[in-house]
Chain A
Amino acid sequence: AQTVTQSQPEMSVQEAETVTLSCTYDTSESNYYLFWYKQPPSRQMILVIRQEAYKQQNATENRFSVNFQKAAKSFSLKISDSQLGDTAMYFCALQRGGSQGNLIFGKGTKLSVKP
């Protein structure tokens, strides 16, 4: 069975500061993908960043970067220079390579960026 665990239900950060959201996962597959999605209060789920398990290099998208520790099955998201628009629910998700639709979500972390 595949599982995704986000142990921080809620977090807050001051504007311009850096925050790290935690995610651990479990899978027996060797080929898989990991994602962070953001869902602001306006509700549209937006892809933040994606990591292929076979790539050792951590993915980066502007102010968003991940720390992918494959052996530890850890996939944390770092947000640098936090902005008010980063306030949202963040979901970590796992997808098996070679599968259709099998996107396993964590329970989410609600991030509030304070001015």
Chain B
Amino acid sequence: DTEVTQTPKHLVMGMTNKKSLKCEQHMGHRAMYWYKQKAKKPPELMFVYSYEKLSINESVPSRFSPECPNSSLLNLHLHALQPEDSALYLCASSQDWAGRADTQYFGPGTRLTVL
């Protein structure tokens, strides 16, 4: 089963709101990823967690705060976002063989709109 689930599917928030995106996988993968995708563009990597530890942060603004509570869950906490942060946020997971990443499997994404 190569399924990664994400909730919510859609989210509309104001610039002063605090919200969270959730991602879950039950494939036993130990690497999880957050990507941001603007319309008609490829995904851009934001964060990578390996064995529940943050291993890559691609210079993402602090208004995005990732969290990995356990090996199956990945959250992205949002606070004081800007309208330009409106995008599709994709979660992915992969096996992680001692730092060597395997094929990434993507979730359906959360469509975020910041007003």
Contacts and interface: CB of A to CB of B under 8 A. Distances in A.
Interface of A: 33, 35, 37, 42-47, 50, 89, 91, 95, 97-103, 105-108
B108 A35 contact: no
B105 A100 contact: no
A101 B41 contact: no
B104 interface: yes
Given A44-B109, A50-B103, A95-B101, A101 B42 contact: no
Given A44-B106, A45-B43, A101 B33 contact: yes
Contact of B45 (A98, A101, A107): A101
B81 interface: no
12 contacts: A44-B109, A45-B106, A47-B103, A50-B103, A98-B99, A98-B100, A101-B31, A101-B45, A101-B101, A102-B45, A108-B41, A108-B42
Contact of A106 (B33, B42, B96, B100): B42
Given A43-B109, A47-B105, A106-B42, A100 B90 contact: no
Q: Could you tell me the dominant secondary structure of chain A's interface residues?
A: loop
- Please give me the 5 A-B residue pairs with the lowest Cβ-Cβ distance, nearest first: A105-B42, A101-B48, A45-B106, A44-B108, A100-B101
A100 B88 contact: no
B88 A107 contact: no
Contacts of B100: 97-100
A103 B109 contact: no
Contacts of B42: 91, 105-108
